[in-house]
Amino acid sequence: MKELNKNWLTEGLIDFEYKKYLLLGYLQSVKKEFDNRKLYPVFSDLLFHYRNIINVKQNKTLLYENFPKEISGADFENLKLMYTEIIKDDKIMQELEEIMEYSIPVFQNYLTEGKDIFEEIEYSMSIAPVGLISLNPDNGYLFFYVENIREAKVYEYEMTLFESAEEKYRGIHTHFVETVDKGIYNTFESIKVYLVRKYNKMANPATYLIDAKVNYPFDEAILPVAKRMLVRYINAP
């Protein structure tokens, strides 16, 4: 995927056509990822750039901080004065405003497309517990099964709680364990028993099955969407 520099808006030539060229080149690679139903990390990257440009538009001090500071032989006070003059340059500010006015709705359109793809992928998947429900759902196993494929991917997961000044939210870490054969006589319950006996970590680990109807790209679509589904499922009242 083609990357867009985090300071693309204020770095280099401040010219509408040039910035539009950079943006459209980046979005062309985003479109290619979306067409292949690859949602991550492209969607997160897209969201970062959108939020950044909104912050710049709403907060001119961020615009000041984002200007490239490639200058030599000048002390900090002179540097501040130079950038203060740049910010006060009506021609540059007008060019930046034009770039932002063009870019924001374009980012919004692509974010909407990404959300639609997320919903499409999520709609094709279901989640359900395997065996007896564990008293500790914060860590355990996550099974991935795509219909018409005679195997299941097994991941171990661990839930974590993050706190900020504004809110608390849950995150989830996963790592691959192994791939197991899924035949008629090898049920998901028997796979769970097999894992308990082999790894001997938990007597009754929380175990959930993600059943996918469509074989989307695993790392870029199924896994990240499933992680969000699991967090929501566990936190449901």
Q: What is the residue type of 215? A: N
Nearest CA to 100 among 42, 46, 47, 56?
A: 56
Summarize pLDDT for 166-200 with one digit per residue, the tens.
Answer: 555 678 999 999 999 887 678 899 999 999 999 88
Return d(Cα 166, Cα 26) in angstroms, integer: 33
Residue 163: the pLDDT is: 53
**Contact predicate 44/3, CB 8 Å:** no
Return d(Cα 58, Cα 98) in angstroms, integer: 14
The average pLDDT across 48-75 equals 65
Q: Which residue has the higher pLDDT, 206 or 94?
A: 206
Where does the pLDDT of residue 55 fall: very low under 50, low under 70, confident under 90, or very high at 90 and above? Answer: confident
Q: Delimit the domains of the chain by residue range.
A: 16-123, 125-235
| pLDDT value at 225 more than 50 | yes
174 has which bridge partners?
Answer: 157
